Amino acid sequence: MALRYRVRFPAAVLAVIGAATFQLLIPRFLGGAIDHAASMLAAAGGEDATLIAAAKSALLGSALMVLGTAIMRGVFTLAHNYLAESIGQSFGYELRLSFFEKLQRLSFSYHDRIHSGDLITRGMLDIEGVRRFIESGVMRLFQLAVLIGLGAYLYMGQDLILGALCVSFVPFALWRGVVFRLRVRALWREFQERMSVLTRIMEENLAGIRVVRAFAAQKHEMQKFDDWQQRTLAPAIDMVRVRYFNTSMMTFSYFVAMGLVLWFGGLRVIDGQITVGELTQFLVFMTVLQMPVRQVGMVINGYARASVSGARMFEILDLEPAIRDRQGAPALKIGAAALAFENVSFSYQGFASEHTVEGITFAIEAGQTLGIVGPPGSGKSTIAHLIPRFYDVTGGRITIDGQDIREVTLDSLRAQVGVVQQDTFLFKTEVRENVCYGEPGAEDDRVVEAADTAQLHDYVAGLPEGYDTLVGERGLSLSGGQRQRLSIARSVLLTPRIIVFDDSTAAIDAGTELRIRESLKELNRSRATIIISHRLSSLMHADEILFLEEGRIVERGSHAELLAQQGPHLGRYRRLFDLQMGLARDNAHAR
């Protein structure tokens, strides 16, 4: 750290030393002044006018020195505090940026495992904890060390025994400090962990309040909440006890030392070995140490917090994104947009073997459409997520125009691949910004065109503020179907050469979907399209349809071919079709 703040750090160190020096000079001048007043009084009995005049001018001198020293101490303290804060803020700024950078790059598999609330807590509270410790803790500890070290040197030089007595509480205070640090760190971690569970419980309860109400589960939820509140209370109270037990011990040891100084110093004054002024000097020196002694508790507390927070931060900063560009990877060269899966297999690490896909092989290129159907969990979305490398295949390979997608840069790959997801995340900004999220600042007519393609334009244009309407948190809430259409518009705007619709029309009624498909027809000539859907009407025009079950392709072919398939293990597609067609027949009968 010292290296990164080449100017500020040494400057702060100098400022600390300067402030400490002036701080330590004050007792000297005060003691001197007392001596002037007292000794003159004793020597002359208040009679000798010249001596009194001399004493008066000496007093004036002392007074001015004290004032000057106090001002200098203030200036140096200001410099030190400011530099410390500036270092702390720079550190926080950089930490914040690297955290942000890192979590944007961490792959889906990481984000699947970690709770978003946990990441947010780290990004907010933990960064703050570390920053604050750097800013006030590190420098304050240093300041304390300089004050005690320099003070002990100066005052022990003047009077070994009294000087030693002044700092005699330091070893004891250090011991308490170490004990405190060890205990509070463990407690702090425990507290933090329990608090994050409590946070999650509250957050889920509020987000899922409809389920809670629908199942009349308020009592159950309150129990869960009370239970975890109590669990956070226990370490919180323990922390308080440990903290104040140790800090009041420290203060007590400080006062004991002061009492000893008073005792031995008093005896020496009685024996005429030192003056009252000198005794005053040592006593005032002790008051200089009082503030730092009180702050030690705070610093240690801050340290405990920062070390737990720091560990949590670095846990993330040290992660290597599982998916990143290979060294010197070229950009994807796109030609016919020929996408090929060659015997691809994949399983999510550590979770849900049922998400696994195996032996997936297919090829499509611009102008062609591939349809994928299958029961939930059969691996349809997994296939969609492999194409833009949200996850890397664990076997086989995926190529685009002959290039393995792991061998090209992520940016160039994702620029050519669009995935329209089932879930649409809305950012809290205008509709316009949400539509051109992938290409900030896209021209208005392109935004309108994309929205029109997704059959969203009429709705948006009808809003009072049109494309400037705010959506997302606190904005307009869109229905599931509208969100899906927005998601389609978002992807269409980017004109990817390969586009995957991942059940992205489930909440859109069939009529609207038909219109979307019509308007996409023209565009689809120049791109490869993959449609994942439960609705056969969405994908039966595809050049090839894959029927997935438990991660494997169990039937494949065009709509007509699949309908013609016979055999004991075949015919799933046909049965599915019949099931959905049954409606149409009824309809026909009714007519």
Q: How far apart are CA 139 and CA 121, in angstroms?
A: 26
Question: Cβ distance 364 to 336 under 8 Å?
Answer: no
Q: How many CB atoms lie within 10 A of CB 348?
A: 17
Question: Cβ distance 71 to 78 under 8 Å?
Answer: no
Question: Cβ distance 531 to 510 under 8 Å?
Answer: no
Question: Cβ distance 425 to 490 under 8 Å?
Answer: no
Stretch touching another protein by CB under 8 A, among 205-213, 300-308, 337-345, 448-456: 205-213
Is residue 206 a contact point for another protein (CB under 8 A)? Answer: yes
Minimum CB separation of residue 389 from another protein in Å reads 9
Q: Which is nearer to another protein, 342 or 356 (CB)?
A: 356
Number of residues that bind another protein (CB under 8 A): 179
Q: Find the binding residues for another protein in span 207-236 (CB under 8 A).
A: 207-222, 225-226, 229, 233, 236
Is residue 311 a contact point for another protein (CB under 8 A)? Answer: no
Minimum CB separation of residue 502 from another protein in Å reads 10
Q: Find the binding residues for another protein in span 118-137 (CB under 8 A).
A: 119-120, 123-124
Q: Find the binding residues for another protein in span 430-459 (CB under 8 A).
A: 437-438, 440
Is residue 580 a contact point for another protein (CB under 8 A)? Answer: yes
Work out which of 276, 317, 329, 554 binds another protein, going by CB under 8 A.
276
Sequence-distant (≥ 6) Cβ neighbours of residue 328 within 8 angstroms: none
Q: Which is nearer to another protein, 137 or 374 (CB)?
A: 374
3-state helix, strand, coil in the chain (%, to 5): 65, 10, 25
Stretch touching another protein by CB under 8 A, among 81-89, 173-181, 305-313, 444-452: 81-89
Work out which of 5, 11, 17, 96 binds another protein, going by CB under 8 A.
96
Is residue 284 a contact point for another protein (CB under 8 A)? Answer: yes
Residue 87 tokens read as 């270092």
Is residue 529 a contact point for another protein (CB under 8 A)? Answer: no
Q: How far apart are CA 266 and CA 279, in angstroms?
A: 7
What is the DSSP code (8-state) at residue 430?
B
Taking the CA atoms of residue 240, residue 246, residue 251 and residue 254 in that order, the dihedral angle to the nearest 10 degrees is -170
Is residue 358 a contact point for another protein (CB under 8 A)? Answer: no
Among 481, 323, 486, CA closest to 413: 323
Question: Cβ distance 51 to 40 under 8 Å?
Answer: yes
Q: Say what angle helices 169-207 and 218-270 make with each other, to 10 degrees.
A: 160
Work out which of 5, 13, 21, 86 binds another protein, going by CB under 8 A.
86
Q: Find the binding residues for another protein in span 365-394 (CB under 8 A).
A: 373-377, 380-381, 388, 390
Work out which of 181, 200, 397, 446 binds another protein, going by CB under 8 A.
200
Minimum CB separation of residue 64 from another protein in Å reads 7
Minimum CB separation of residue 145 from another protein in Å reads 20
Q: Find the binding residues for another protein in span 137-156 (CB under 8 A).
A: none
Residue pointed to by tokens 């000297």? 28
Is residue 70 a contact point for another protein (CB under 8 A)? Answer: yes
Stretch touching another protein by CB under 8 A, among 362-370, 451-459, 503-511, 523-531: 503-511
Sequence-distant (≥ 6) Cβ neighbours of residue 566 within 8 angstroms: none
Sheet containing 528-532, strands listed edge to edge, beginning at the edge strand earlier in sequence: 417-420, 498-502, 528-532, 369-373, 544-549, 552-557
Among 15, 24, 26, CA closest to 68: 26
Q: How far apart are CA 377 and CA 556, in angstroms?
A: 18
Hey, what amino acid is at 73? R
Work out which of 401, 513, 544, 555 binds another protein, going by CB under 8 A.
513
Is residue 85 a contact point for another protein (CB under 8 A)? Answer: yes
Is residue 540 a contact point for another protein (CB under 8 A)? Answer: yes
Question: Cβ distance 509 to 481 under 8 Å?
Answer: yes
Is residue 587 a contact point for another protein (CB under 8 A)? Answer: yes
Among 292, 311, 312, CA closest to 300: 292
Backbone angles phi, psi at 230, to 5 degrees: -60, -35
Q: Sketch the per residue contact string, 406 through 425, with another protein: x for CB under 8 A, - otherwise.
A: ----xx--xx--xx-xxxxx
Minimum CB separation of residue 197 from another protein in Å reads 9
Stretch touching another protein by CB under 8 A, among 157-165, 392-400, 447-455, 536-544: 536-544
Work out which of 537, 543, 552, 554 binds another protein, going by CB under 8 A.
537
Work out which of 15, 16, 62, 529 binds another protein, going by CB under 8 A.
62
Minimum CB separation of residue 341 from another protein in Å reads 19
Is residue 43 a contact point for another protein (CB under 8 A)? Answer: no
Q: Sketch the per residue contact string, 248 through 267, with another protein: x for CB under 8 A, - otherwise.
A: xx-xx--xx-xx--xx--xx
Residue 470 tokens read as 């705010």
- Phi/psi region, residue 260 (left: phi>0; alpha: psi -120 to 50; beta: rest), is alpha
Minimum CB separation of residue 375 from another protein in Å reads 5
